[in-house]
C-alpha cells in the first residue's frame, strides 16, 4: 500500500508598497534582511508598470546578491508586454545569480485601462501571447538550441546563455477566472491565485484539475497557492481600503486576514480548499513588527503541520 504524499506548505512575503517613498529604500532592504534572518520562504515582487512599484527582475537580481537562502518570485510577471527571448535570458541570469532560487510566476498582466494603454498590447492578444511565451520559455530553459515559428515570435537555432542552474522550469501562472485556470491546467505547472476567497479557490481548483486531466496532464498537489493580504487593524473597513490601495482594485473581504488570529484562521480555510503556498502582502506601512509576530505565532507552526495529498 502506497503511503500518502506529504505536501510542502510554505509562506512567502510580497512587496508592493503604496507609499512612493517606500518603494525601494531602506525599509525595503531592512525587510529583506528580516525575511532572510527569520527564514521566511520567499520574497515576491509584483509587476504593474503604472503603479508605484519596482521593476521586479532587476530588483530580484539585487536581492539575489544580498541574500543566501531566500527564494525569489514574481507575483506575477506580465508576459505579453515582454519579448520572450529577452525575458527568459533575464530570468536565467537571476537563476544563476541566486544559485537556483528563482521561482517565477507568469500572467497576462492586470487589466487596468491605463496599464493596457501604456504597454500597447491589445487586450485580446494577452492570452495567446502568454501561451506562446510559456512554450518558448520551457524550450529555451533546457539549454538546447530551438527553432520556433509562432504567431508572435520566430526563433532560428537560438540557445539560452547563461544556462540556468536547472534544466527544467516549472512555470506557475496567475489568474482567478475559469479561463485562466483552464489555461493553467493545459500548459502550466502551478497556480498563484489572487483576489479569491477559499470557496472560490476550491471551485476554480476543481476546474483546473479537470482541464489538466482532459489534457492528459497532472499538476502537483503542492503547486497551488494564493496571495493573502494581512492587516494589523481590527477595523475591516480600514483593511479593505488599504488592500484596495495596494491591489489597485477592490479586494474581497475573505482574502484579507486581520491580525495574527485572523491570519491563522484564513490560512486554514485556504488549506482546506487545496492551497499549500501562500504569499503575504502586508498592509501596514512598516511590515516588520507584524512579520516578526506572524513568523513565530502563525508561519512556523503552520508550515510544520503535516498535510497529505
Has residue 230 got a pLDDT over 70? Answer: yes
Q: Alpha-carbon distance 177 to 124, whole Å?
A: 15
CB atoms within 10 A of CB 214: 11
Residue 174 has pLDDT above 60, yes or no: yes
The 3-class secondary structure across the chain, one letter per residue, is CCCCCECCCEEEEEECCCCHHHCCCHHHHHHHHHHHHCCCCEEEECCCCCCCCCCHHHHHHHHHHHCCCCEEEEEEEECCCCCHHHHHHHHHHHHHHCCCCEEEEEECCCCCHHHHHHHCCCHHHHHHHHHHHHHHHHHHHCCCCEEEECCCCEEEEECCCCCCCCCCCCCEEECCCHHHHHHHHHHCCEEEECCCCHHHHHHHHHHHHHHHHHCCCCCCCCCEEEEEEEECCCCHHHHHHHHHHHHCCCCCHHHEEEHHHHHHHHHHHHHHHCCCEEEEEECCCCCHHHHHHHHHHHHHHHHHCCCEC
pTM for this model (two decimals) = 0.94
d(CA 161, CA 176) in angstroms, rounded, equals 34
The sign of the dihedral angle between the CA atoms of 181, 279, 54, 17 is positive
Asked if pLDDT for residue 191 goes beyond 80, the answer is: yes
User: pLDDT tens digits for 114-165?
Assistant: 898 999 999 999 999 999 999 999 999 999 999 999 999 999 999 999 999 9
**What pLDDT was estimated at residue 17?**
57
Residue 162: all three cell numbers together = 547563461
Per residue in 1-58, pLDDT (tens digit) is: 567 889 999 999 999 755 555 566 889 999 999 999 999 999 999 998 888 788 999 9
Find residue 73's DSSP bridge partners.
Answer: 44, 103
Q: Is 181 left (phi over 0), alpha (psi -120 to 50) or beta?
A: alpha
Amino acid at each position: 500500500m502506497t503511503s500518502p504524499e506529504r505536501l510542502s506548505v510554505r509562506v512567502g512575503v510580497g512587496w508592493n508598497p503604496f507609499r512612493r517613498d517606500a518603494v525601494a529604500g531602506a525599509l525595503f532592504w531592512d525587510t529583506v534582511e528580516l525575511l532572510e534572518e527569520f527564514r521566511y520562504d520567499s520574497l515576491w515582487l509584483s509587476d504593474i508598470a503604472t503603479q508605484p512599484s519596482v521593476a521586479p527582475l532587476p530588483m530580484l537580481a539585487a536581492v539575489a546578491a544580498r541574500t543566501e537562502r531566500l527564494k525569489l518570485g514574481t507575483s506575477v510577471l506580465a508576459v505579453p508586454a515582454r519579448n520572450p527571448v529577452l525575458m527568459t535570458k533575464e530570468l536565467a541570469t537571476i537563476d544563476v545569480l541566486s544559485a537556483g532560487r528563482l521561482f517565477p510566476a507568469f500572467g497576462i498582466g492586470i487589466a487596468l485601462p491605463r496599464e493596457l494603454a501604456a504597454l500597447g498590447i491589445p487586450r485580446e492578444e494577452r492570452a495567446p501571447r502568454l501561451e506562446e511565451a510559456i512554450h518558448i520559455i520551457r524550450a529555451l530553459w533546457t539549454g538546447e538550441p530551438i527553432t520556433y515559428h509562432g504567431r508572435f515570435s520566430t526563433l532560428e537555432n537560438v540557445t539560452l546563455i547563461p544556462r540556468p542552474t536547472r534544466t527544467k522550469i516549472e512555470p506557475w501562472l496567475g489568474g482567478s477566472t475559469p479561463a485562466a485556470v483552464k489555461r493553467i491546467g493545459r500548459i502550466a505547472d502551478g497556480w498563484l491565485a489572487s483576489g479569491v476567497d477559499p470557496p472560490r479557490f476550491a471551485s476554480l481548483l476543481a476546474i483546473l484539475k479537470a482541464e489538466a486531466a482532459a489534457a492528459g496532464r497532472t499538476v502537483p498537489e503542492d503547486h497551488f497557492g494564493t496571495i493573502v493580504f494581512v492587516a494589523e487593524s481590527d477595523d475591516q473597513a480600514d483593511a479593505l481600503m488599504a488592500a484596495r490601495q495596494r491591489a489597485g482594485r477592490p479586494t474581497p473581504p475573505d482574502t484579507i486576514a486581520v491580525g495574527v488570529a485572523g491570519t491563522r484562521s484564513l490560512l486554514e480555510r485556504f488549506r482546506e480548499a487545496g492551497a499549500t503556498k501562500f504569499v503575504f502582502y502586508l498592509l501596514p506601512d512598516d511590515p516588520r513588527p507584524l512579520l516578526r509576530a506572524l513568523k513565530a505565532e502563525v508561519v512556523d507552526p503552520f508550515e510544520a503541520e503535516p498535510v497529505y495529498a
